[in-house]
Amino acid sequence: MSHRDFDDAMGLLSRDLRQRRLVVFCGASGSGKSSAIEFLLEQHPHCAAAGQWCVIEELRHYRDLRSVWRALRHGQRLLIASHLPHRLHRCLALLVSTELIELDWQPHKIVRWLQARGIHHSSAAVNRFCQIFGANYHDAQLILNHYPAANFDQALGQFLRYCRLQYQPFGSNQVVLTLSAEAAKAHYATIRASSQWPSAKRCRLRLIQPQRRVHGASAGQSTQSAGYASMKNAAQANQSGHKMATAETATNPPQNPNNRPAAP
C-alpha cells in the first residue's frame, strides 16, 4: 500500500502536529505503520517540509528506545513505527510532546478497506477478525487470497477452520533504521519496487499452515487418530480371527496321523 492509495481512516491530515516532537504509530506488521508515515511525509503540511523530521524504522525491543533518545538529544522530530506496547509510549508522552496513534484495534479501518474493494462483510465478522488478528491489512489480504469467497464472513470462517498463522519472533540482531525524510521516502520506494512489501521490511514472518480437520480435529490430530484407528481395527481383526480359529479348533480337533485305530 502506497501513499497514493492510502486510506486516511485515522484522520491524519486533520491532526495538528506543529508542536509534536514524536509521532508514534503502534501496531503489528501489516497494520499500516510505514504507509502512514510515508503518507505524512508526502501529504501532511506539517511533515512535508524537508529537514524537519526523521523516521525510525522499527522499534521492536526496549533497548531500541536508545535510538529515540539519541535523536531527541540532537533536536530531531521523529516519525516512529513501533511494535512496542502503546502503554510504554503513553508513559514517554509525559516527558516529550507525543502524538500516539494505535493501529491494532481500529475496526473501521478494515471496514473501509473492504468497502473500497467491494467485498461484502458484517460487523460481527470484522470485529471477530480484529479480536484475533488486530486491524491488520496484511492478514485480511492473506485470508482473502486463500479463500476468495463471495464475502469476508465466509472467507474468515473457512480460514479459521482450516488454517492458522504461526508467528515467528524477531531476531535479536535486527538493526533499527534512523532515516532522514528523503532517505525514508527512497527506502519505501525501493521496498515497494522489490514487490516484497511488507516482508522486505524485516517484518515478523507469518507462516500459513493449512490443516485439514476431521470432526473438528486438526491435521495432526486427525492423522494420528486415523493411524490409531487403523491399528485398532487391525488388532481387532487379528483378535477376532484368533477367536474364530480357536472356536473352530475346539469344535473340530485336529486328527493325529500317528494315532491309528486299534486292531480288532
pLDDT in the model for residue 125: 97
pLDDT in tens, 206-235: 445 555 444 333 444 444 444 444 444 554
Q: Return the exposure string of 125-162: e unless at least 16 CB atoms fall within 10 Å of the residue's CB, then b.
A: bbebbbeebbbbbbbbebbbeebebeebbebbbebeeb
pLDDT in the model for residue 50: 56
pLDDT in tens, 24-39: 999 988 888 989 999 9
**Over residues 227-247, mean pLDDT:** 45
d(C-alpha 58, C-alpha 70), whole Å? 15
Q: Return the exposure string of 80-110: e unless at least 16 CB atoms fall within 10 Å of the residue's CB, then b.
A: bbbbbebeebeebeeeeebbbbbbeebbebb
pLDDT in the model for residue 168: 66
Question: What is the sign, positive or negative, of the torsion defined by CA atoms of 92, 139, 125, 37?
Answer: positive
d(C-alpha 54, C-alpha 67), whole Å? 12
Question: What is the sign, positive or negative, of the torsion defined by CA atoms of 74, 181, 108, 154?
Answer: negative
**Over residues 75-85, mean pLDDT:** 92
Question: What is the sign, positive or negative, of the torsion defined by CA atoms of 6, 11, 16, 21?
Answer: negative
- 39-48, 105-114, 125-134: which range is least confident on average? 39-48
* Mean pLDDT, rounded, of the chain: 76
At residue 264 the predicted structure's pLDDT band, cuts being 50, 70 and 90, is very low
Whether the bond between 248 and the residue before it is cis, its omega within 30 degrees of 0, is no
